[in-house]
Amino acid sequence: MRQTDYVILGLLSESPLTGYQIKKLIDIRFRFFWSESYGQIFPALKSLCTGGLIEETENADEKKRSRKTYRITPSGLVNLQQWLKLPVERESVRLEILLKMYFSHLTEKAVMLDHVLKFQEAHRQDLQILTLFENELKKIVDAGDNHPQVLRVIDFGQRVNEAYLDWCRETILFLESGSNNETKNS
Amino acid sequence: MRQTDYVILGLLSESPLTGYQIKKLIDIRFRFFWSESYGQIFPALKSLCTGGLIEETENADEKKRSRKTYRITPSGLVNLQQWLKLPVERESVRLEILLKMYFSHLTEKAVMLDHVLKFQEAHRQDLQILTLFENELKKIVDAGDNHPQVLRVIDFGQRVNEAYLDWCRETILFLESGSNNETKNS
DNA sequence: CGGCGCATGTAACTTGTTACATGATTCC
DNA sequence: GGAATCATGTAACAAGTTACATGCGCCG
């Protein structure tokens, strides 16, 4: 069982979905802390089916062979719950922009400024999407569900993205001040 | 050229190093935003050598076949500088703890509390290491170098880790309050 | 009927980790 | 001499991406 399997089990624990929908959900809801490609999702769906942790819903309309909808099985739910209890292992973060920042005395400040501006723009968007999602959740009052937990996840995203943006502001000041060019061997 | 190649070029642009030292530097200085394993570093060193971007320093002591020290070549430096100008592509973050938080209504709050406490402890340490590194840098006054840029990287780490810790505090409150057990099918 | 978006799937490839083997050096 | 740590290296595996092939269904 890979991590991909558990993401899928988790999403299917909320409602039945197709592989395509799973991908879309991950891209939107989990965008700031997770990602999966089709190349992982579809094989995972197949193997989860084989293992009996999920199953295809039988559509009334039998002829539609495309658009397979999957749902979690009782045994899948048990598996998911067991995984939740396991200690969190992997935590991987790879930010190329910091690598470039670290070595950026070897190039012009304008180059780095450009990178930071793009980074800033990307994370402004992340923050916006996050806030949209938060408002949507808060409108739906039939709590009972996993809303409080999801709000904790959104809060994480907001804090981190705000930290990113604060850093961008200060770093932009740094890069705009001083000499415009810091190249060593110019 | 993979990202690993550029990390190595960057580190060698500061001073000659052995593969082992490169690994250690990445583990300490880059710990909060990068990682590499020996399985990537040693093959990369070999291929960079073949490509003429780095070279072994000839030790006065010829007999030592172990402990090879590498240095960057002029062509390697040019390569590194070109890479710095290229747009930042990959930015990957994978935080399993948020995945578990998202689905944590399916288990006891105590379970999630445990995960968060471990996460908190790990990032307290990160913050400490970061501050240590910062003080060390500030003591060495022969700036001129890349110190301002490195301080920007450290600042990033501090902000993000502080955001993590703020989130932990609030999340711990959330998990300690309310019912001790939120399992759906208990 | 042509194009677009929805949807599934896979093969080839790249990237990254782990476990292991090996040997040198240092310090007690 | 024995233990710890420094140090290099690789093979097998696991994980993840990309590019591509395919076909359905709807709208104009």
Tens of pLDDT, residue by residue over A45-103, are: 999 999 999 998 876 555 555 688 999 999 999 999 999 999 998 899 999 999 999 99
Conformation bin of residue B178: beta by default, left when phi > 0, alpha when psi is -120 to 50:
left
pLDDT of residue A145: 81
**What value does the mean pLDDT take over residues B48-72?**
80
Q: Which residues of B touch A80 (CB under 8 A)?
A: 103, 106
Q: Give tens-digit pLDDT for A14-28.
A: 999 999 999 999 999
Residue B178 reports pLDDT greater than 70: no
Whole-angstrom distance, CA of residue A12 vs CA of residue A57: 12
Distance CA B116, CA B30 (A): 23
Choose between A43 and B58: higher pLDDT. Answer: A43
Alpha-carbon dihedral of residues A57, A36, A121, A172, nearest 10 degrees?
150
CB-CB contact of B92 with B162 (8 Å): no
**Residue A76 CA distance to nucleotide C2 C1' (Å):** 44
pLDDT surpassing 70 at residue A141: no
Q: Is the pLDDT of residue B42 over 60?
A: yes
Q: What is the pLDDT of residue A186?
A: 38
Comparing CB atoms, the residue among B96, B115, B149 nearest residue A104 is B149
Give which of B94, B144, B171 is closest to A26, Cα–Cα: B94
Q: How many CB atoms lie within 10 A of CB A40?
A: 17
How far from the centroid of its chain's Cα atoms is residue A18's Cα? 18
Tell me the H-state helices in A68-146: 74-85, 96-102, 109-139
Q: Is B82 a residue whose pLDDT tops 70?
A: yes
The three-point CA angle B97-B100-B102 to 5° equals 110
With the C-alpha atoms ordered A171, A174, A176, A180, is the resulting torsion angle positive or negative? negative
Asked if B72 and B8 count as a contact pair (C-beta separation under 8 A), the reply is: no
| Residue A127 token pair | 């923050």
Q: What is the pTM of this model?
A: 0.91
Give the bases of strand C that a protein CB approaches within 7 Å: 6-12, 14-20, 23-25
pLDDT band at A170 (very low <50, low <70, confident <90, very high): very high
User: What percent of chain A clears pLDDT 90, i.e. is strictly above it?
Assistant: 78
Cα gap A99→A97, rounded to integer Å? 5
Q: How far is B180 from chain A (nearest CA, A)?
A: 14
pLDDT of residue B179: 62
